[in-house]
Amino acid sequence: MISINKQKFLAELGRLLTFMSEEDRQEALTLYAKMFDDVEDEQALLQSLLSPTRQAVIIARAYDANARKLQARAKARRDEDEEDDNTPDFVLAILHVYEECVPLLPEEEVTEEDSVMANQFSLFEDDGRPTEESVYEETFVLHETPEDPLPPDEGEEALPEEGEALSPAPETEAAAETAEESDEVDAFIANFSIQDNEIDEAPAKSTPLVLEERRVDSVDEEEEVRALVEDLLDEAEEDVVLVRKPRVVLLVLFVLLALPLTLLAVGLLLLPTLLSLVLAAVMIAAGCAGLIAAFGGFPVLADILVVLGCAIIALALGLLLLWLFIWFVGTAIGGLIRGVIRLGGSWCYKEVAA
Amino acid sequence: MKSGWRVILSIVLIAALLGAVCVGVGLITGGEWARIYSTLDSRYHVAAYVDYVQQVIAVFQEALFSPAA
């Protein structure tokens, strides 16, 4: 088994994500690096991620290069102060991987004190549950300050703010209570909201079984992934459209000079070409005549052998001259014309991005 | 084109060698050029063609290189 670590994983992943724009690629790699920072057991995370190739195809499936280009252009046109609320699909895909592989709250930290009664659960319903984007912001964006890295269990402390913002319940139950009691309720709500999140994550805890199945299929998927990534790479290359714009003055001058010179050179080359063709025809005709004569008109075997030998030599020379004619036409004359056209293309045209 | 040259040259060399061997064996075993020429002349009128070519060459030489021209 090939041992792999975080750096190798990220390096391989970075190599596979070259179909993305540089900005998106860096963002994806940053998210994966954060993922590694947020877990204690790096090897367990690597096992959960399976392989860089698999992660590359997950991103590739969620990544639309054209759409991202349009988004980037639109974003560039907007004011810099204006925030972009649209989280890219590939980021959501990475977030989904993050949720599967890095639970927000470790299982051993769930205690009986955090368990919630049914009536308290109804206070928040679905509104208190974090969406994928909010989790993304809390998990990655809040952690991006390098001087204040938050481990996953500390990151959960960010959730009480959400609980505070979404807590109309203390108004009904603790309106008459003191401010301290209200804080206690908020703290409880914060705990509750985390537990709710933990409940959402519960199905993800069963991922080892799913991952086992994925490992079985991983060999087949590797080839699919490679093909998909190669297709995306090809599409990315095709996206760069270059348009050839003529330099008109140079083009006219080139045509005026190159056309007569090329015709003269072609005419000169036609002489040996036609000569080789004529000689080839004569040789082949003489060879065929010699073969016919050798088997038809000579009574002496020695004479037949001599004529046969001469006919074979004539046919061989005829074949050589015929090939020389083909070479003159295909390589010499054709190459001259192609070279002049290529030269004109390089001198008289410039390539600019469309 | 390079492989084409290689194939053609191989065929030509083999055929030329074969032809040379045939000529050599024919001459060794009693072949004579005079007899062959007379046979071909009686069958294909080779002498007439040779005379015709010689006359054409002479006319061209006169037209191209004579002092009057």
pLDDT tens-digit map of A289-312? 889 888 887 888 999 999 999 999
pLDDT at A294: 87
Taking CB atoms and an 8 Å cutoff, what residues of chain B touch A320?
8-9, 12
**CB atoms A320 and B32 under 8 Å:** no
How is B28-69 classified by DSSP, letter by letter? HTT--HHHHHHHHHHHH-HHHHHHHHHHHHHHHHHHHH-S--
**Mutant choice from B29, B33, B36, B53 vs A, greatest count of A C-beta within 10 A:** B36
B17 touches A at CB < 8 Å: no
Q: Which of A2-11, B4-13, B34-43 is most confident? A: B4-13
pLDDT band (50, 70, 90) for residue A204: very low
Q: Is the pLDDT of residue A146 over 60?
A: no
How many cross-chain Cβ pairs, A to B, lie less than 8 Å apart? 92
Closest CA to A315 of A327, A305, A307: A307
Cα–Cα distance measured from residue A309 to residue A303, given in angstroms and rounded to the nearest whole number: 10
Cα–Cα distance measured from residue A13 to residue A32, given in angstroms and rounded to the nearest whole number: 9
pLDDT at A103: 61
* Lowest-confidence pick of A69-73, A264-268, A285-289, A336-340: A69-73
pLDDT band (50, 70, 90) for residue A323: very high
Q: Calculate mean pLDDT across residues A192-207.
A: 46
Selecting from A297, A309, A331 the residue whose C-beta is nearest the C-beta of B22 gives A309
pLDDT, greater one: A47 or A212: A47
pLDDT at A281: 96
* Lowest-confidence pick of A134-148, A180-194, A269-283, B42-56: A134-148
Cα–Cα distance measured from residue A240 to residue A244, given in angstroms and rounded to the nearest whole number: 13
pLDDT, greater one: A176 or B30: B30
Q: What are phi and psi of A334, to 5 degrees?
A: -60, -40
**Mutant choice from B12, B21, B45 vs A, greatest count of A C-beta within 10 A:** B12
pLDDT at B41: 87
Cα–Cα distance measured from residue A320 to residue A318, given in angstroms and rounded to the nearest whole number: 5
Answer whether A117's CB lies under 8 Å from A76's CB. no
Taking CB atoms and an 8 Å cutoff, what residues of chain B touch A301?
29
Reading the block at residue A166, the tokens are 């979404």
Q: Which helix (H) or strand (E) holds A349?
A: strand A349-353
pLDDT at A40: 79
pLDDT, greater one: A325 or A346: A325
Cα–Cα distance measured from residue A32 to residue A139, given in angstroms and rounded to the nearest whole number: 12
Q: Calculate mean pLDDT across residues A110-129.
A: 43
Task: Tell whether pTM > 0.90.
Answer: no
Complex-level ipTM: 0.83
Q: Is the pLDDT of residue A167 over 50?
A: no
Selecting from B18, B40, B43 the residue whose C-beta is nearest the C-beta of A312 gives B18
**CB atoms B19 and A313 under 8 Å:** yes
pLDDT at A171: 46
Q: Which helix (H) or strand (E) holds A11?
A: helix A6-16
Calculate how close chain A gets to B47, using CA atoms only, in Å. Answer: 15
Percent of chain A with pLDDT over 90: 18
Helix axes B33-44, A301-327, angle to 10 degrees: 70
Closest CA to A71 of A91, A95, A57: A91
Closest CA to A104 of A146, A46, A150, A147: A150
Q: What is the mean pLDDT of chain A?
A: 71
Reading the block at residue A190, the tokens are 């914060």
Reading the block at residue A271, the tokens are 């002489």
Selecting from A289, A313, A320 the residue whose C-beta is nearest the C-beta of B8 gives A320
Q: Is the pLDDT of residue B26 over 50?
A: yes
pLDDT band (50, 70, 90) for residue A162: very low
**CB atoms A312 and B44 under 8 Å:** no
A306 touches B at CB < 8 Å: yes
How is A112-175 classified by DSSP, letter by letter? GGG---HHHHTTTTTTTSPPHHHHHIIIIIGGG-TTS---HHHHGGGHHHHHHHT--HHHHHST
Q: Is the pLDDT of residue A1 over 70?
A: no
**CB atoms A289 and B36 under 8 Å:** no
A309 touches B at CB < 8 Å: yes
**CB atoms A305 and B12 under 8 Å:** no
Question: Measured at the alpha carbon of residue A136, what is the angle toward residues A67 and A26, in degrees to the nearest 5?
Answer: 55
Q: Calculate mean pLDDT across residues A229-240.
A: 68
